[in-house]
Copies of this chain bind each other. A is one copy, B any other.
């Protein structure tokens, strides 16, 4: 159905991998995992269909490595910044905003660096986290679980009033709002329609998103998420039934 236009490039040897990565990334942004065919990718990269199988072992391997290329540096930078802030705090535990900043700032930095992320970096991140394909879901949760765990600890220290289970849920809600917003095929339209940038000098090409937009977007998102994390605890109905033994610990896990 959809044929990607072949790009007549110099197809000299060893950077075939990189060309395939770039093609896969661009197509994944537009069509998702299932919607992106190997034939589209290889045509756009100017490579042979079988090259993907040779270099990455198949479609699954290609997309896993494609994501790791972008997300490994992100999670590394996040952990580094969190550790740095912790050391700078000298015993005092970090505030909720500081922990969230340790998540956001490296992401914005990579979005400004064309070599390690680029303009569409945050959209890629969001698309990856909302994609329904089991391949991507398993890869992401397995590979980046340690980072999430570390940040969960940091948020727990910053929000001593929130029980552990409740905090786990709230981080899940947070991730949902974040991923869904960044992924937005429509968030892009929303930005244009609702939130014109201060300098509308040149209308950007369709589909491209400025890091300026991303910055404003995360600036809007941050207060929303922080207020949600600090929200009053929910009133879950009392168990009331026969096995009424375990409810005492719910307050301060």
Contacts and interface: CB of A to CB of B under 8 A. Distances in A.
A199 interface: yes
A100 B251 contact: yes
A191 to B, nearest CB: 9
Interface string A114-156: 0000000000000100111110010001000000000000000
Interface residues of A, number: 85
Contacts of A109: 248
Most central of A177, A219, A248 by chain B CB within 10 Å: A177
B195 A165 contact: yes
A47 interface: no
A105 interface: yes
Contacts of A127: 132
Interface in A187-220: 187, 190, 194-195, 198-199, 210-212, 215-220
A137 B250 contact: no
A101 B234 CA distance: 14
B252 A226 contact: yes
Given A130-B180, A219-B234, 4 more contacts: A165-B195, A176-B179, A226-B252, A227-B228
Interface of A: 31-32, 34-35, 97-98, 100-102, 104-105, 108-109, 127, 130-134, 137, 141, 165-166, 168-170, 172-181, 183-187, 190, 194-195, 198-199, 210-212, 215-237, 239-244, 246, 248-253
* Ranked 7 nearest A-B pairs via Cβ: A101-B251, A176-B180, A198-B239, A34-B34, A227-B231, A32-B132, A101-B253
